[in-house]
Chain A
Amino acid sequence: MPLAPKTKRNLVTTALLAPSGLWLFVFLVLPFAAMVIFSFGERAPAGGYQPAFTLAQYANLPARAAAFWNTLILAPVGAFVCLLVAYPAAYFLAVKADPRYRLMLVSLVVVPFWTSLLVRTYAWMYILGSRGIPNLLSMIGIEDVRMLNTPGAVLLGIVYGYLPLMIMPIYVSLEKLDRRLLEASADLGAKPVSTFFSVTLPLSLPGVMTGVALVTILLLGEYLIPQLLGGGKVFFIGNALVDLFLQSRNWPFGSAIAVTLVLVVVVILMVAMRIAWRISGSRQVDLV
């Protein structure tokens, strides 16, 4: 007996979504629930987790305050420095670049983002390390310059690692900009500078918001850059988490930190979307 069209349609939809739905449930929703449960537990004597219901882990969060502060300061600062470099670059690509080469120039910016962050961070470790720039400096008589394992090195690594991700959304918003608005502004006697500040910049703010939010959120979970360029002296929440899970094996405390990190991410995301919504007057926010 042939199935009714509606039933058949629903069956196909279910079949299409079953694998990914199952995946999302088993490897995202369930693990997240497990992590929340663990965060209310206690550390087993030999490490790991033992069931309990206590808020002790959350009360203990100030023990890792340094990691939170480093992250919550360096992530936005890093995103902001990124923005300062990215905006003119995106403006150049979208407005000034020769259209014939635009695609290639944009590709050149995007491609590094998809290559290994580990390798790109290693490059700076290599350059800032004792056999790199400090070695060159000592040849011209400047001795004992330490560049690696400083906040500056971490900031440099952040800007280097996330610049492409900041440039892209700004580029997209500038590229979508209606050129006629700029002409109208010029026709009405506005100087290029005032056209930029009263037309171009406000209209590109959604892209700026997206870029800042994306980079900040990714930086909140960063591990490699502070690990390799901060050398344990400038550590992020990500470094504290690796330590708690893989070295000291205090899983409940680590879970509490991870849950807190996710809450911070959610709050930042909501604030960013609220601002972007207010700026652009619509709920559409390109996240990636």
Chain B
Amino acid sequence: MRALMTAVYVFLYAPIALVVLFSFNAGRSASEFTGFSLQWYGKALGNTFLITALQNSLIIAFTSAILAAVFGTMAALGMQRLGPRMRAVFEGLMAAAIVVPGVVIGIATLVALVAVFGAINPAIASLWPGERPPQFGLGYGSIIAAHGLFTMALVAMIVKARIASLGRDIVEASADLYATPWTTFHQIVLPQILPSVLAGFLLAFTFSFDDFIVAFFVAGSKTTLPIYVFASIRRGVTPEINAVATMVLVASLILILAARVLMRERKTKSTE
């Protein structure tokens, strides 16, 4: 039993460890370690395409995670105030946002946005008084919108679970002591749900930062880091990709570990 579990951990971590190890390889081989070197990191960080992709990914992940954290938390708070029917509709839509495959979310968003842009761009152009009318197109906005859909539902779910575990009595006690609903919210409820909101934000950031398939459809001419990595893998496996992959791994490891520490505060036994 113990041996099997050890094997599972080796299976989960050895491939990643190998990628990390060979990112420090002096040579190009994937099976022979010829000496320690940071040259591939230097190459990666000197690559302006990569740095642009990284910046794009950070902007998109940060914006969509903020939107997801704020709107998702509001949704979690609002849903418990709804009647059973509306609540079922809302929960169903949230579940759909999580369960529908990323490929389909990407396609549906692409199709809808292209149809909308196709209709409004000529309309704006005909009404625009100046020389160069603004053109709506795919880019930051469409990626943020599509990522926000999944991550908003994710945050709503995490925060909702936290609200459900809060006793009603503490809120009622606050009301009995003549606190206004707003005071009760920001003195009693908010401090209690804040860790899960933050955890949701970090998970949303991680998801957006790591997502390839949704962005692949709706990115237009923008390149995110996973899209860049995917394109360079297609050109051939190199230690430079290992270096980039290692940096991506380290970034998401930090985020996910922080999220888990925040979520652990609310439950002694983790059920993630």
Contact = CB atoms under 8 A, between A and B. Distances in A.
Contact of B31 (A93, A133, A246): A133
A188 interface: no
B175 interface: no
Given A19-B70, A31-B112, 17 more contacts: A13-B82, A17-B74, A17-B82, A27-B148, A88-B4, A89-B8, A116-B249, A118-B230, A123-B18, A126-B18, A175-B269, A217-B99, A238-B103, A238-B213, A261-B104, A287-B98, A287-B99
A16 B79 CA distance: 8
Contact of A27 (B13, B109, B216): B109
B90 A17 contact: yes
Interface in B30-59: 30-31
A96 interface: yes
Interface in A143-161: 160
Given A21-B90, A118-B210, A221-B103, A124 B15 contact: yes
A116 B226 contact: yes
A89 B13 CA distance: 15
Interface stretch (A54-62, A103-111, A189-197): A103-111
A115 interface: yes
Contacts of A267: none
Given A17-B78, A28-B96, A35 B233 contact: no
The number of chain B residues touching the other chain, given as a range, is 35 or more
28 contacts: A13-B78, A19-B74, A20-B72, A20-B74, A24-B94, A27-B109, A85-B11, A110-B260, A111-B256, A112-B12, A112-B16, A114-B206, A114-B256, A118-B212, A118-B226, A119-B248, A124-B15, A125-B233, A126-B18, A126-B19, A126-B237, A127-B30, A218-B101, A222-B101, A242-B216, A245-B217, A251-B111, A254-B107
A198 to B, nearest CB: 20
A27 B64 CA distance: 13
Contacts of B123: none
Contact of B30 (A118, A132, A175): A132
A38 B111 contact: yes
Nearest to B269: A175
A123 B15 CA distance: 6
Given A27-B148, A109-B12, A160-B15, A92 B31 contact: no
A183 B83 CA distance: 43
Place the interface of chain A in its size category: 35 or more
Interface string B217-251: 10000000010011001000100011001001100
A265 interface: yes
Contacts of A117: 210, 212
Nearest to B81: A13
A24 B97 contact: yes
Contacts of A112: 12-13, 16
Contacts of A102: 269
Contacts of B266: none
B156 interface: yes
Nearest to B19: A123
B104 A288 contact: no
What is the interface of chain B mostly: helix, strand, loop, or mixed?
A: helix
Interface of B: 1-2, 4-5, 8-9, 11-13, 15-16, 18-19, 22, 28-31, 70-72, 74-75, 77-79, 81-82, 90, 93-105, 107-115, 145-146, 148-149, 152, 156-157, 181, 203, 206-207, 210, 212-213, 216-217, 226, 229-230, 233, 237, 241-242, 245, 248-249, 252-253, 255-257, 259-260, 264, 269-272
A221 B212 CA distance: 13
A6 B156 CA distance: 25
B71 A135 contact: no
A254 B108 CA distance: 10
A246 B217 contact: yes
A245 B71 contact: no
B95 A287 contact: yes
A220 B213 CA distance: 13
Interface string A157-187: 0001001100010001001000000000000
A80 interface: no
Contacts of B242: 126
Contacts of B253: 111, 115
A271 interface: no
Given A112-B12, A115-B249, A262-B100, A224 B213 contact: yes
